[in-house]
Chain A
Amino acid sequence: MSTEAQLPPLNEASLTEAPAPTPPGQAPPGPPPPGAQAPAGQTTRRRQYFAQSSLFILIALFIVVFSALRPQEFANWGNFSTILYANAVTAVVGLGALLPLLSGEVDISIGGVMGVSGVFVAWAFGKGWPLVPAVLVALAIGAFIGIVNAVLVVRVRLNSFISTLAMTTVLTGIATLITGGGSLYEGIPVSFNKLVNYSVLKLPLAVIYTLVLALVISYVTSRTAFGRRLRATGAGRDAAALIGIRTARYVALAFIIGGVVSAFGGVIETAELQSASPTVGSSFMLTAIAAVFLGSVLSRRSHLNVWGTLLAVLMLGIGITGLTMVGAPAWVPDVFNGAALIAALMLSGAGRSLAATAFGRTGG
């Protein structure tokens, strides 16, 4: 029951790039003489393979270690399924963060978006709304916040890091306004919980939603012209515009779709907890963005990608669950999350350049 079975390593690299026999920059035409390979090249390649498989290695390592330490509690399908269930929201919010990051901007407000939409769903149920309009309006709220973010970044040309950070605070305030300060739980039907909790093929529905969403976003970002132009907008904004890509539109769409996806995360969170509180989003935001960057190690070219994001969420989730089971004190998970991100950025090298463009740019 390894995770590799469920999550085929369909990273972006394997979808859009044919496997090259040799890494770039050191490809001699013609067969290399036997036994005469450059030792330096081999080290780089080994390092690269190590980096690319590091998420799998860590997950395997965690499973082995924690299974040995806590065979009763840890090593069973029920626990694994619980980990997946508990981390589905983080994964969805991570996918919401991925799209703006691909366009070269960062959206900090994904946590605030999921908070507001989650709280809104609970509020709507409390007012007696039926399920479908409650969820649809919650998603529309995500789209609307995405539009506001897009206008601030693309039109007003604010730095996306700062403006979405401010937006987070605004959204937390609005969520508090909706709840009146506390948590909302009245009127949320049990059937709402069933929509995420019910197991199909031994997997809770929330996990299935996440996988379907991931499939769709993976297809769009790595197989379509839309995705290609989105990545070009992130990788070279000026060049992309001069090639004729209307980069402002792509940045805007990334914010809007990202907003809807994050709002979806908020809806799932409320369904899982059967309640909603205004401050829930902030803890998800950091882990989700960390997971997106962590996930870049999966790509040969350190590109941000869907499956790497999911694997990183899983790795962090397994690690933290295991640490909690072996009785690690409360401060350990936070340190673990942060240290994992730093390690991943060092390993992949993507963090440096990517974070620099995403965090250092004013929109456009």
Chain B
Amino acid sequence: MTDSVALSVSHVSKTFGATRALDDVSLSFKPGRVTALLGENGSGKSTLIKVLSGAHAPDKGSASVAVGGQSRALPLTPRQSHELGLRFLHQDLGLVPEATVADNVAFYEGFLSPPLRPLRRQAEGGRTSELLARFEVKASPDSYVADLSPSEQTMVAIARAFGPEDGQARRIVVLDEPTAALPGDEVERVFRAIRRARQSGAAIILVSHRLEEVLDVADEVAVLRDGRVVASRPVEGLGADDFIELMLGHGLERSGGADTAAGGHGDGLLRVRGLTGRRLRDVGFDLRAGEVLGVAGLVGSGRSELARLVSGAQRPAAGTIEVDGAARVFDGPYAALAAGIVAVPQNRKRDGVILDMTVKENLTLGDLRPVSRRGGLGAINNAKERAEAAELIRRFDIRPPRPEALLRSLSGGNQQKVAIARAVRLGPRVLILDEPTQGVDVGARGEIGAIVTDLKRQGVAIVLATSDVDELLELADRVLILDRGRLREVLAREDITRDRLALALAGAALQGKAA
């Protein structure tokens, strides 16, 4: 272990409403070392990163950050963060697609000429080619980012984050799941880049959910759980089991509590074969009435895409979807709806509800026929509509219980209940829930779980795509594990345990070791 410290944060706390996302976090990161920052979803990793990048201000208190031994109080502005030598690779890369690679580098490093002088294209191109060559990026400085493949774009962003050689020793680079969007064979290239940057003295913070990667490239590990630091130590001597235990605490033995008796019955209601989309490759499964099929996978696994493909929101590149034995091609969500497939999409505010309409209007929008006279141009019967909305509000316990409340004024959990109530009202045979409890408070979580169990008893087939392990434990009869777009594993009811799920998600390579 080296004595010098590149970056340290002290006493950082951050509260969102009633949730303590970070609780007095103090960590230090060494130059020339790769520190893996680990933790389950909601453990506070991304909040910590956002505090460092200046996107979040920590709670008032003695929070401070020290770079190269010089301490300063938080919060930082994004500009101050940049000036301190902090660089971030976010999952969305932060590249301007309609600009060249050289310009994208210049947005970060500064242009070589004053603002109103002609650009020094040659010099900037030279600087960029050097950078690209060092990180094995095949793109030319003059190519537009939009024309590059996703992998090449990721590499450009990584090269840019590490920056030119001369400044590298002072850099602190945070990589947030840099390999999530990459195919397996490209991952090694990212690792070579990381090792090279480490050699020149940069401090690297790597966020990853893949234990194989962490074991492969990290020197140190810092683990967050419920906003607290539960470990900060060298990787040496740690095995896969230790990692899982550090991340989860002591819940290793817990198994699912779902209603195993009602684990689906009858013939296959939904039959999917060879389903292929942008990331998803050749995924197939059967779903029976009254069955809850969990779909799990890390960011970039194609989890959400599977939900979109089956619900008609995205057209498959290949594959078949059969409902009751009849092949169906959905050219839009309305077609899936006609086949009895209803979805509650992941991005609630954009896709799930209409914020500027009322609760009542949102609830009935899916099918206005029951509440209006004679088709599209018949008047909507206000009394009937209100009564139907009131009934749903009561059944799903939507608060405040006012049909005329604007959806925007509801809490996230209640907005989600509106989205689910709207879907259930359509009487689906297959209900697709994509991250149904994301951004939802604890109480509403429980209620949504109860709704799912209830629908399952009524014989609705449910696809539950989620990143929440607890949700799978509680509700799923089977779990599909997706990895980089492919179906890696199907866990049967008795195999759905916390550690099995955690291991399967962290990468099947470790499966044998820890089981």
Contact = CB atoms under 8 A, between A and B. Distances in A.
Interface of A: 16-18, 20, 24-25, 27, 29, 219-220, 223-226, 228-229, 231-232, 235-236, 238-246, 301
A225 B353 contact: no
B409 A244 contact: no
Contacts of A240: 354, 365
Contact of A244 (B333, B352, B378): B333
A236 B356 contact: yes
Given A236-B356, A239-B350, A242-B345, 17 more contacts: A18-B404, A24-B405, A24-B409, A220-B377, A224-B376, A224-B378, A225-B377, A228-B361, A229-B368, A232-B361, A236-B353, A239-B353, A241-B332, A242-B311, A242-B313, A243-B333, A245-B334
Interface in B215-272: none
Contacts of B358: 17
Given A224-B378, A225-B376, A238 B365 contact: no
Interface string B352-382: 1111111001000111110010011111101
Name, among A17, A232, A236, the residue most crowded by chain B CB atoms within 10 Å (CB to CB).
A236
B148 to A, nearest CB: 23
Given A25-B409, A240-B365, A223 B380 contact: yes
Looking at chain A's contact residues, the main secondary structure is helix
Contacts of A25: 409
B356 A235 contact: yes
A231 B357 CA distance: 9
Interface of B: 311, 313, 332-334, 337, 343, 345, 350-358, 361, 365-369, 372, 375-380, 382, 386, 400, 402, 404-406, 409, 422
25 contacts: A24-B405, A220-B377, A224-B378, A224-B380, A225-B368, A225-B376, A225-B377, A225-B380, A228-B361, A229-B365, A229-B368, A232-B361, A232-B365, A235-B356, A235-B357, A236-B350, A236-B357, A238-B350, A239-B352, A243-B333, A243-B366, A244-B333, A245-B334, A245-B365, A301-B356
B369 A27 contact: no
B312 to A, nearest CB: 9
A250 to B, nearest CB: 10
Given A17-B358, A232-B365, A236-B353, A226 B332 contact: no
Contact of B375 (A29, A225, A231, A246): A225
A219 B379 contact: yes
B406 A24 contact: yes
B380 A243 contact: no
Q: Which 9 A-B pairs have the closest CB atoms?
A: A236-B354, A225-B368, A226-B376, A244-B337, A244-B334, A24-B409, A235-B356, A223-B379, A25-B409
A242 B356 contact: no
Contacts of A20: 402, 404
A242 B313 CA distance: 7
Contacts of A239: 350-354
B368 A238 contact: no
A108 B377 CA distance: 27
Contact of A243 (B356, B400, B402, B422): B422
Name, among A16, A17, A244, A246, the residue most crowded by chain B CB atoms within 10 Å (CB to CB).
A244
Nearest to B378: A224
B351 A238 contact: yes
Contact of B351 (A29, A242, A301): A242
A25 B358 CA distance: 13
Contacts of B405: 24
A350 to B, nearest CB: 10
A272 to B, nearest CB: 31
A232 B366 CA distance: 11
Contacts of A243: 333, 365-366, 422
Given A17-B358, A232-B354, A245-B334, A225 B378 contact: yes
Contacts of A246: 332, 334
A232 B368 CA distance: 12
Contacts of A229: 365, 368, 376
Nearest to A249: B334
A242 B343 contact: yes
B351 A224 contact: no
A219 B418 CA distance: 27
A243 B361 CA distance: 12
Contacts of B402: 20, 27
Nearest to B335: A244
Contact of A235 (B345, B354, B379): B354
Contacts of A301: 356, 406
A39 to B, nearest CB: 20
Contacts of A245: 334, 365
Contacts of A220: 377
Nearest to B308: A242
A224 B380 CA distance: 5
Contacts of A18: 386, 404
Contacts of B400: 27, 29
Contacts of B366: 243-244
Contacts of B352: 239, 242
Name, among A229, A238, A301, the residue most crowded by chain B CB atoms within 10 Å (CB to CB).
A238
Nearest to A231: B357
B62 to A, nearest CB: 33
A243 B386 CA distance: 19
Contacts of B365: 228-229, 232, 240, 243, 245
